[in-house]
Amino acid sequence: VAATAPANTEVAFAAAAASSGSEVVVPNGYVAEILYRWGDPCVAGSPAFAGDLSETSAVAEQQSGDNHDAINFFPFKNADGSERSDVGLLCINHEYLNAEYYYDKVVSDSTVTFTFEDARKGQAAHGVSVIEVMRNSNGTWTVNRNSTFNRRIHGNTPIDISGPARGNVLMQTAADPTGTRALGTLNNCGAGQTPWGTYITCEENFNGYFGWTDTTFTRNALEARYGLSQTGFGYRWHESDPRFDISATGNRNEPNRFGWVVEIDPFRPASTPKKRTALGRFKHENAELVIDPTTKKVVVYMGCDERFEYVYKFVSDAAYDENNMAANADILDAGTLYVAQFNDDGTAGDGVGVGVWIPLVHGQNGLTTGNGYIDQADVLIRTRQAASTVGATPMDRPEWLAANPNKPGEVFVTLTNNSARTAGQVNEANPRANNIYGHIIRINETNANAVGTTFDWNIFLLAGEPGQELFNSPDGLQFDRLGRLWVQTDGNFSNTGAYAGHGNNQMLVADLDAGTVQRFFVGPDGCEVTGVTWTPDMRTMFVDIQHPGEVGRHPNATNPATGMPYTEAELIANPTAFSSWPDGATASRPRSATVVVRRTDGGIIGT
Ligand code: FEO
Ligand code: CA
Ligand code: CA
Ligand code: CA
């Protein structure tokens, strides 16, 4: 019997006001403390952050990466199996880097030399940190710098390729002719946590790291669909590291080895992570894993974050074994991947509809040899094309999905925004043209059956509407274990024009019955509020802040001397000109960081 959702009285705090300030804002009675910043030592023996960018790539591989994103707490356990709330492991994603703060050269200037060592140092900024953290007697938290669990997984860490695409011809490169072992994980955005104690980290915009140096190279349909381009997102790795030059001999398939969900066992620091290809290849946001209560099968809900891309779920073949954790180790290697079709229910315009999960199985629904799909591995490597073939519904950038722990079969998905949707492309599930604010959809599996193939859905909220807390671009989405839904934003924080009153990026908590939200946390200028996790006792919350001081997407970061947005060269000359978060007066530059949020009276967060 499903427990009822907590009443709104469970969410009791003085709402934080919108803010355009340079600091974190939390409600009265709460504190926010910095725990783990870009460059802080990760593994035992790591040097401290130099502050002057003098680290080599080898040192950067021992320190925290940049752009903290998803985060999950893995509690240590007592002898009786109960979970501890005072010590555990944090797994933290490092999504990308901000060149204006990461290098002492203007990377965007193609006349500036970019070396192999520069590329390797950039690759070190990416991946995952595993750190042991401990609560002190006064309630503050400390990283255990000497823990043997501490580990950096980065852009050159060996990772096994597992599941149906392992060894496939499209996974083979000159350096790995067997197509079984990749180097590195990149653009680690959202993530998920399994009940068998592993972390599943998601590779999102991997295409941005690749390019080609042979100007006669032309991309094929697969490369075009995943957004490969000659210069990528300007990282320039392909200029000096041939692995990222897809026109280099033997490297054409290297991008196919990215865009996967990667499983990491944080409690076995010597274990090799695995890319779980059965979960499909796309620009993965997060991976929300639930156990179907009836069949015990593992269900993973996932979004592909790009305009007009899709929502997916994976259902395992085998049942989860709660009495034998080792038996679940490779359960994500075999199952069925589905993509969602969101249809109207016959009453147009009410934001309510029905849906179908369409299997992406070779030989079914047009995924046939005759249509060019060779086998299941080929379907998975080309997941986006396969999903288009079967008629999935193009959405307004699916970001995180979150499953309600109090209501089996209920899942929410953030559609962050899509300014490219035209009036002619509006439909019941994506109801706004020029959707600059984004929305959240609530999915209910038919009869609460998470392994089934039909569902109902409704629009839970349209962001930016008058009469509610103002915010735009919902992105991170997570239920806590009390059943409250937390929403994080990655949007326009100019606080002017169409965004007036929204303030900086923030975190809100939703009332599931009313469809309203209340602001809990506001981040500093130029940041995005990304991952969130809690200790089992709900008395400590860990929140990630990425790219404080990022200028590129935010036109309000104006240099008063020029009246124009700060340039890369200006920020290299004066790295704290726009932001000095979180180090303040002692800052050498802004730094992404994990923040501890707790109540000064030690109480449960948000109650
Ligand atoms: Fe990395 Fe879609 O956010
Ligand atoms: Ca309808
Ligand atoms: Ca995101
Ligand atoms: Ca986003």
pLDDT of residue 554: 67
* Confidence band, pLDDT 50/70/90 cuts, at residue 591: very high
Between the CA of 188 and the centroid of ligand 1 the distance, in Å, is: 9
Contacts of 558 (CB under 8 A, 6+ apart): 564, 565, 566
The ligand whose atoms approach the alpha carbon of 350 most closely is 2
pLDDT of residue 4 exceeding 60:
no
* Confidence band, pLDDT 50/70/90 cuts, at residue 11: low
pLDDT digits (tens, 9 = 90+) for 516-536: 899 999 999 999 999 999 999
Residue 189: CB within 6 Å of ligand 1?
A: yes
Q: Quick one: residue 210, left, alpha or beta (phi over 0 = left, psi -120 to 50 = alpha)?
A: beta
Q: Is residue 472 helix, strand or coil?
A: coil
ipTM of the complex: 0.97
- Lowest average pLDDT, out of 180-189, 202-211, 221-230, 546-555, goes to 546-555
pLDDT of residue 3: 33
Q: Among 475, 468, 450, 483, which Cα is nearest to 531's?
A: 475
For every residue of 322-382, DSSP letters joined together read TT-GGGGTTGGGSEEEEEEEEEE-SSTTSSEEEEEEEE--TTSTT-SGGGT--SHHHHHHT
In the chain, what percentage of residues exceed pLDDT 90? 92
pLDDT of residue 38: 98
* Choice between 227 and 494, residue whose per-residue pLDDT is larger: 227
Residue reference for tokens 């590195």: 184
pLDDT of residue 558: 85
Mean pLDDT of the 540-555 span: 88
Q: Among 140, 143, 124, 128, which Cα is nearest to 36's?
A: 143
Cα–Cα dist 373/377, whole Å? 9
Is the backbone peptide bond immediately before 582 cis, with ω within 30 degrees of 0? yes
How many CB atoms within 10 Å of residue 145? 16
Ligand 1 nearest atom to the CA of residue 490, by list position: 3
* Confidence band, pLDDT 50/70/90 cuts, at residue 8: very low
Q: Which two tokens stand for residue 523?
A: 């981040």
Cα–Cα dist 585/280, whole Å? 46
By the 10 Å C-beta count (0-12 exposed, 13-18 middle, 19+ buried), 240 is classed as middle
Helices (H) and strands (E) in the chain, counts: 8, 32
pLDDT of residue 9: 38
For every residue of 117-147, DSSP letters joined together read HHHHHHHHTSEEEEEEEEE-TTS-EEE-TT-
Task: Specify the pTM.
Answer: 0.97
> Do 202 and 182 touch, CB atoms closer than 8 A?
no
Contacts of 487 (CB under 8 A, 6+ apart): 414, 440, 471, 474, 476, 477, 507, 508, 509, 510, 517
pLDDT of residue 18: 87
pLDDT of residue 556 exceeding 90:
no
Ligand 1 nearest atom to the CA of residue 189, by list position: 1
Q: Among 450, 504, 91, which Cα is nearest to 290's?
A: 450
Between the CA of 393 and the centroid of ligand 4 the distance, in Å, is: 20
Mean pLDDT of the 549-568 span: 83
pLDDT of residue 423 exceeding 90:
yes
pLDDT of residue 88 exceeding 60:
yes
Residue 285: CB within 6 Å of ligand 1?
A: yes
Cα–Cα dist 270/88, whole Å? 18
Tell the residue nearest (CA) to atom 1 of ligand 1. 189
pLDDT digits (tens, 9 = 90+) for 250-304: 999 999 999 999 999 999 999 999 999 999 999 999 999 999 999 999 999 999 9
pLDDT of residue 477: 98
Mean pLDDT of the 401-420 span: 98
Residue 204: CB within 6 Å of ligand 1?
A: yes
- Chain mean pLDDT for the chain: 95
What's the one-letter identity of residue 547? H
pLDDT of residue 596 exceeding 70:
yes
In the chain, what percentage of residues exceed pLDDT 70? 97
pLDDT of residue 557: 81
Cα–Cα dist 184/189, whole Å? 14
pLDDT of residue 553: 59
Between the CA of 451 and the centroid of ligand 3 the distance, in Å, is: 26
pLDDT of residue 552: 66
* Choice between 161 and 554, residue whose per-residue pLDDT is larger: 161
Q: Which two tokens stand for residue 268?
A: 């076995």
